[in-house]
Amino acid sequence: MTDSNQGTLPFKPKSKLFEGIGSGIIRVSAFTALIGIFLIFVFIFKEAIPIFTSEAVQETASLDKMVFKQEFREGRDPLWSWAPNSRQPKFSLMPLVLGSIKAAVIAMLFAVPLAVGAAIYSSEFASKRWREFIKPIIEILAGIPSVVLGFFALIVMATVFREVFGFTYRLNAFVAGVALGLAVIPIVFTVAEDAMTSIPQSLRQAALAVGANKWQVSMTMVLPAALPGIAAGVVLGFGRAIGETMIVLMASGNAPLTTASLFDSIRTMSATIASEMGEVVVGSTHYNVLFFIGTLLFIFTFIINLGGDLILRRIKERIQGKVT
């Protein structure tokens, strides 16, 4: 049977013009963002260039001097020292890099188990109602301004920890790391939880149907399948931990030490820039070095975020079956 109305609906030909304009706008905004990032990098790096070109700057702040131990006085042991304002300025980056790494590692050790555990609970075990309660609350943590977290760490956590653990320094890497962890938890949680909930229900059923219990389904099927996503969350969280400034500025004690102890004060790269950039003489060696630190931070976080993103893309493809 044929319909006498066939082909009579008033379809409109699609406008090529609007399609062109639309995709044009999207392309321009994408490029603007890219150019923006590129320009930021250029402007930061520009101020760090004298480190590579100017002999006056290199006298105190050559790459070699920033990386390796220096002998500042005859007969004394060589050491890493960040003391930009002393009579004999010292620009070793090691205390700052070490401080950043210490704080970030403590933050991750604290945040990852909690965040992943919470994600497993929320995705696999919580009732629907509980889940709708937990998820927003953890995600609200992400919205707390870091200055508030820093303030909390400085006033409350530092005091409590000192009472409990008897720290020599009230403000130290441990306090800063745990506070930093609070900022990292929601990032890891959100990405990990999404990775787990995106595992299709049919796979859980298949696992149950061969006699797995709920715990086994979570641990031997969901968790391995979501692992790349969880790893991406961890990487993104690490990026945040390295770059975060306010919390460490307030809670770390800000002493550029190079001790192995996790309970000594530290100073991070980010906090150094934040606290010294305001007073530095523009164009001085110190100024150039601060920008060099900024460049390093930029590169670190860029690479970390890029890595996290690549992993995330891989997991999506894998779950859709494109990649072996």
Residues that bind other proteins (CB under 8 A): 127-128, 200, 202-203, 205-213, 216, 220-221, 224-225, 318-319, 321, 323-324
Question: Would you say 180 or 223 has its CB closer to other proteins?
Answer: 223
Question: Would you say 19 or 317 has its CB closer to other proteins?
Answer: 317
CA distances (Å), 36 to each of 14, 32, 33, 162, in order?
A: 34, 6, 5, 44
* Residue type present at position 128: K
Q: Is the dihedral angle over the CA atoms 181, 187, 190, 191 positive or is it negative?
A: negative
Question: Would you say 159 or 213 has its CB closer to other proteins?
Answer: 213
153-166: b (≥16 Cβ within 10 Å) or e: bbeebbeebbeeee
Question: Would you say 9 or 210 has its CB closer to other proteins?
Answer: 210
Return d(Cα 267, Cα 129) in angstroms, integer: 43
Smallest distance from the beta carbon of 122 to other proteins, in angstroms?
A: 16
Question: Would you say 27 or 214 has its CB closer to other proteins?
Answer: 214
Smallest distance from the beta carbon of 138 to other proteins, in angstroms?
A: 23
Question: Would you say 203 or 262 has its CB closer to other proteins?
Answer: 203
Smallest distance from the beta carbon of 221 to other proteins, in angstroms?
A: 6
Query: Phi and psi for 321 in degrees, rounded to 5?
Result: 85, 15
- In terms of C-beta density within 10 A (0-12 exposed, 13-18 middle, 19 or more buried), how is residue 247 classed? buried
- Helices 173-197 and 158-165, interaxial angle, to 10°? 110
Q: Is the dihedral angle over the CA atoms 248, 253, 256, 259 positive or is it negative?
A: negative
Q: Cβ contacts of residue 283 below 8 Å, gap of 6+? A: none
Smallest distance from the beta carbon of 134 to other proteins, in angstroms?
A: 17
Smallest distance from the beta carbon of 121 to other proteins, in angstroms?
A: 17
Smallest distance from the beta carbon of 194 to other proteins, in angstroms?
A: 16
